[in-house]
Structures are given as C-alpha cells and as structure tokens.
Amino acid sequence: MSIQLVLGGIMFIGLFFLKESPRWLCKQGRHDQAVASLAHIRCKTVDTPEIIHEMAEIRASIEEELNATEGVTWKECLTPGNRKRFLIAFIIMFWQQFSGTNSIG
C-alpha cells in the first residue's frame, strides 16, 4: 500500500507544474491566457492559424453550452417528471458507495 502513496505523492507534486486547460480559461473569460496555454500545449505560436481556429471552436462550444443550459437549475431534478429518475440514480450511486465495493477493488 505504501507504493501507492509514493506514486500518488509524485502525481501531487506534478500537479503544481500543470497549465490550466484552455477551455476552462476561456470559460472563465481569460481568453488571452487560454490562447497562450493552447499554443504551449500544441508547441505552436499564438498567431498560428491552427491555434486561432481551435480557439474559435472552443469559444463556439462554450457559447453553445451556455445557451443549452440557460435557465436550468437544480430545482429541475425535483420536478414531477424528473423526481423519480433522480431518486433512483441517487439511491443506486449511494448504495454502490455504501456497499464498500471500492474497498474490495
């Protein structure tokens, strides 16, 4: 079990050297940093047509996602049409975790 702690520790230390995701940065409104991060990941310059095109795709997908989820709240889980589905999914996930299957694995 201690081997797992060593490898987990190495991954934890490596976490501090990772760059933020270009999609996350773009979603936070930090577009310049998103372009720089994407250029770093792709080993290209910021003004490369490939980077510009991919950033346009990322922005379009974020806008589409925001338009699709506009006005959606957690209260929709408890509306009569979704209440039964939500409770079944919640109970299944709860009992899966509560049964200890992760410990056995």
Total-model pTM: 0.62
List helix spans (H) across 1-105.
Answer: 2-15, 22-27, 31-42, 49-68, 80-98, 101-104
Contact between 19 and 37 (Cβ < 8 Å): yes
pLDDT of the residue at 26: 92
More confident: 13 or 72: 13
pLDDT digits (tens, 9 = 90+) for 66-96: 888 887 777 777 788 888 888 999 999 998 8
The domain limits of the chain are: 18-64
How far is the C-alpha of 57 from the C-alpha of 49, rounded, in Å? 12
How far is the C-alpha of 2 from the C-alpha of 16, rounded, in Å? 22
